[in-house]
Chains A and B, each alone.
Chain A
């Protein structure tokens, strides 16, 4: 038999079973290939001579004989188990092949390095999260209402008002998500507040509420899980003990396969080494520290000015958009209609360049400067988002005031209609029954649908801005540089403007903030996760193409590994900050009286109490009412605090902090269970 050969890897068990001979066909195919390779080897290098060939041929004949005898024997048990192992292996291969966009990302990785590829991995991960949110909202909210709810036109909330009917199907109106788009399953206002619908008695209001809460809970879970998985990788942190050793042994990215990237990498390594040495030497020398401090203070001052300015601009734009909403839509041009979204997107595009400019004053080490820049962009986007929400809250309060007026008006209108109906019946006792077409019923201002619409419009305009920026900023610029280089005074490719580099941090931040808007808006517009899925899908292809076609690898390559948890941390913060306003609105604002699944209730969460009363046995309701006893809640909080102090693992601590905050929140909003 064949001699057992010690393998180069050291993780193999010594007592592996002897490999068994296999199918005749595959063996023959392999032998053919091997003979072909041997022949090719014999032509190129003179290593294999005639003797060797003869010996191999003899071996082959021997094996062929063995197969012939083995084929006559019946199959043994090991062979069947081997088939099962083969099936498992094939299944693993299939699962690996099912991961979407793997080849694209690997191609980008080999050309641009692991940092740029990490953005696309992040994008793919977000796509997965959004897919789950989409499945939840689609299958448990939109689909049941579409299948079993009352159709369009049957209720006032489901019909376009008479005044708007003429223009309801115009493209301009649909693009603004008014008209027919507004009165559809895409938005909150369409849903009916009947407790059960359809032959399955599907409890839609309850499902709407629970799906909203579940989306938030799932998002938290998945982000925390990703963070704790990465915490293990990030063990080193800012450890400076092995600075130079790591630079020498881990600088080279073995994934690089492209000569241009390799050249860039060599250059960046050279610069990196030189800087590190200079830093070591300069650590002792202190320059004019007062000047540096003054310049940094000045830079921060300018940054604050910019942030304040952008916040004010957004507030002003939202106020103006409310004024425009009062006016007749036909008198407004395109800019007036889209002013607010454009202002927000443009601010998000130009302020980071300003920050870059101010950072010139500061004279920090590039890595530290990058962190400051990221922090400032984050503050900018966060500030913008919150100013937007404040303006929105203003608008919501206005609408709630308006609603009271409308309610009063409706009672008057109803009285008039009944009077008119009775008057028409005065002559004959039989007549047409009292019927008012749903389109004629006066409507309350549905603030939830308004909120949903704002977020959807913001998302759509963000998408368009991003794509247009890529087309103009990256593609057209690359075309210009490539084709005008022949007839230009200076070298366009190496000087200004040259090709754009892929801005990883800008793109990641944009992705994170868009996701924040999705989380905020999806309770009021169940279609938002679906729209986001479309957006991420097209984004993936579009940006992959743009990166490979128009961008060049970064001149300075920063490692992505330490940033991973930084970005996930920001995502967690945004998630927390996005869900706070939604939860506040659910708990403290009264739902509209004539639209949505919670209409008629005092607060949205009362749907839970209602379900407990009607659908659960009475003893269960009593027990749960006891559970919301403040004394018991305090006791639970204390126990959790004690358990927290015992636990060391970061993941458990974070999870318990979450539970803690929710239980405190629960005790402060009494009567959730009642």
Chain B
């Protein structure tokens, strides 16, 4: 059990992007909401919440340091490359190291918040995305292709962040 060790390491974390004081206030509430992988807490509306939990937890358990890591990545001041790396892991549903067609379809279904969508729309969108970003034509997006696409996006940094304040 690593829970016991976290508290000592937090104070000496010099590379925090999140001020510790604010984080501690909402820590308990946040743990409660994020560790359950079903439709609990009404405030949790993110369509990718289960992926977020999966990426940031270890052995299906959320330790304090994991939550701290998540706060750092989603903070406003985190650097783009860090966010892109974690975004890639979140969007890689089958965790094979690539975002393939199946992952893309699942992302789109989540975004549209419905389980039934016309097949043409899905295939259309998937093919458009792959046409734009897949440079080596293997029908999958590798991390470098994803990074190349997201690096120039003006909205990526603004949308890929979460606040952890207690209000």
Contact with B along A229-254 (1 / 0, CB 8 A): 00001111101011111101111111
A255 an interface residue at 8 Å Cβ cutoff? yes
A256–B48 CA distance with the chains assembled, in angstroms? 12
What CA separation (Å) do A562 and B159 show in the bound complex? 13
* In-complex Cβ contact of A106 among B69, B121, B160, B163 (8 A): B163
What sequence of 0s and 1s flags, for each residue 99-125 of chain B, a beta carbon within 8 Å of any chain A beta carbon? 000001001100111000000010011
User: A61 to B19, alpha carbons, bound, how many Å?
Assistant: 31
- Contact yes or no, B154 A561, CB < 8 A: yes
Chain B residues whose C-beta falls within 8 Å of the C-beta of A39 in the assembled complex: none
User: Which residues of B from 120 to 153 have beta carbons under 8 Å from A?
Assistant: 121, 124-125, 128-129, 131-133, 146, 149-150, 152-153
Tell me how far the C-beta of B96 lies from the nearest C-beta in chain A, rounded to whole angstroms.
Answer: 18
Q: Complex formed: what's the CA distance from A385 to B108 in Å?
A: 48
Chain B min CB distance to A281 (Å):
9
Interface residues on A, range: 35 or more
Contact (Cβ within 8 A) B108 A248: yes
User: Are A246's CB and B128's CB within 8 A?
Assistant: no
Write the nearest CB–CB distance from B68 to chain A, whole angstroms: 9
Looking at A1-9, A139-147, A301-309, A547-555, the stretch in contact with chain B turns out to be: A1-9
Residues of B within 8 A of A259 (CB): 42, 45
Q: A14 to nearest B CB, angstroms?
A: 12
The answer to whether A277 and B48 touch across the interface, beta carbons within 8 angstroms, is no
Cα distance A13–B12 in the bound complex, in angstroms: 12
Whether B125 and A244, one on each chain, are in contact in the complex, defined by CB atoms closer than 8 angstroms, is yes
Of chain A, the residue at the smallest CB distance from B84 is: A249
* Complex contacts, A277 vs chain B, CB 8 Å: 121, 124-125, 128
Contact at B111–A9, with CB atoms within 8 Å? no
Q: Known contacts being A242-B149, A257-B45, is A93 close to B19, with CB within 8 Å?
A: yes
The answer to whether B125 and A96 have CB atoms under 8 Å apart is no
- The stretch that binds B, out of A15-23, A359-367, A480-488, is A15-23
**B158 and A559 contact, CB distance less than 8 A:** yes
* Given contact pairs A248-B107, A256-B45, A270-B112, A114 touches B125 in the complex (Cβ within 8 A): no
Q: Which residue of A lies closest to B133 (CB)?
A: A245
A30 CB contact (under 8 Å) in B2, B7, B69? B7
Min C-beta distance of A245 to chain B, whole Å: 5
Provide the bound-state CA to CA distance between A326 and B152, in Å. Answer: 62
Q: Which residues from A are CB-within-8-Å of B38?
A: none
With an 8 A cutoff between CB atoms, is A52 at the interface? yes
CA distance A92 to B46 in the complex (A): 31
In the bound complex, what is the Cα–Cα distance between A251 and B11 (angstroms)? Answer: 36
B6: min CB distance to chain A, Å: 9
Residues of B within 8 A of A9 (CB): 15, 69, 72-73, 82
Instruction: Kindly provide the distance from the CB of B49 to the nearest chain A CB, expressed in whole angstroms.
Output: 10
Does A607 lie at the interface of the complex (its beta carbon under 8 Å from any beta carbon of B)?
no
Residue A110 is within 8 A (CB to CB) of chain B in the complex: yes
Say whether A254 contacts B161, CB under 8 Å: yes
Mark B54-67 against chain A: 1 for CB-CB distance below 8 A, else 0.
Answer: 00101000000110
CA distance A346 to B9 in the complex (A): 61
Q: Which residue of B lies closest to A59 (CB)?
A: B4
Asked whether, in the complex, the Cβ of B129 is within 8 Å of the Cβ of A234, the reply is no
Docked Cα-Cα span, A251 to B150, in Å, equals 12
Is the beta-carbon distance between A236 and B108 smaller than 8 angstroms? no
In the docked arrangement, what's the CA distance between A358 and B6, Å? 62
A118, closest chain B residue (CB): B158
Residues of B within 8 A of A225 (CB): none
User: Is B5 touching A233 in the complex (CB atoms < 8 A)?
Assistant: no
Asked if B53 is at the interface (CB within 8 A of a chain A CB), the reply is no
Q: Is the CB of B155 within 8 A of A250?
A: yes
> A38 contacts which chain B residues (CB < 8 A)?
3
Closest B residue to A17 by beta carbon equals B12
| Distance between Cα atoms of A251 and B112 in the complex (Å) | 11
A114 and B158 contact, Cβ closer than 8 Å, known pairs A30-B7, A52-B1, A245-B132: yes
Contacts A52-B1, A241-B132; is A34 near B7 (CB within 8 Å)? yes
Is B154 a contact of A562 with CB atoms below 8 Å? Answer: yes
In this complex, what residue of B is CB-closest to A253?
B159
Q: Give Cα distance in the complex from A5 to B22, angstroms.
A: 25
Contacts of B129 in A (CB 8 A): 244-245, 248
Q: Is the CB of B1 within 8 A of A8?
A: no
Question: CA of A596 to CA of B44 in the docked complex: distance in angstroms?
Answer: 62
A contact residues around B4 at 8 Å (CB): 34, 56, 59
Which residues does chain A contribute within 8 Å of B74, judged by CB atoms?
254
CB distance from B9 to the nearest CB of A (A): 6
Closest to B162 in A: A254
Once the chains are docked, how many angstroms separate the CA of A236 from the CA of B167? 33
Q: How far is the CA of A255 from the CA of B104 in the complex (A)?
A: 22
B149: contacting residue among A12, A55, A107, A246, CB under 8 A: A246
CB of A218 within 8 Å of the partner chain: no
Q: What residues on B are CB-neighbors of A562 within 8 Å?
A: 154
Looking across the interface, which residue of chain A has its beta carbon closest to that of B60? A47
Residue ID in chain A nearest B55 by CB atoms: A8
Q: Which residue of B lies closest to A280 (CB)?
A: B128
B21 is an interface residue with CB less than 8 A from chain A: yes
**Residues from chain B with Cβ under 8 Å of A254 in the complex:** 46, 74, 159-162
B125/A236 in contact, CB under 8 A = no
Q: Please give, as numbers and ranges, the residues of chain A lying within 8 Å of B112 by CB-CB distance.
A: 266, 269-270, 273
Complex CA–CA separation, A106 to B133 (angstroms) = 34
Contact between A248 and B125, CB atoms less than 8 A apart: yes
Whether, in the assembled complex, A109 has its beta carbon less than 8 Å from a beta carbon of chain B, the answer is yes
User: How far does the Cβ of A385 sit from chain B's closest Cβ, in whole Å?
Assistant: 31
CB-CB under 8 A for A249 and B150, given A5-B5, A273-B112? yes
In the complex, A420→B87 CA distance in Å?
A: 92
Is A233's CB under 8 angstroms from B157's CB? yes
Complex Cα gap A248–B107 (Å): 8
Least Cβ–Cβ distance between A510 and chain B, in angstroms: 24
Given A9-B82, A34-B3, A37-B3, 16 further pairs, Cβ under 8 A: A8-B56, A9-B15, A56-B1, A103-B167, A241-B132, A243-B128, A243-B132, A253-B158, A254-B160, A255-B159, A255-B161, A255-B162, A262-B45, A263-B113, A559-B158, A560-B158
8 tightest Cβ-Cβ pairs between the two chains A and B: A262-B45, A244-B128, A266-B113, A236-B154, A19-B12, A250-B155, A8-B69, A245-B149
Sample (7) of A-B pairs whose CB atoms are under 8 Å apart: A2-B5, A56-B4, A59-B4, A85-B14, A96-B22, A248-B104, A269-B112
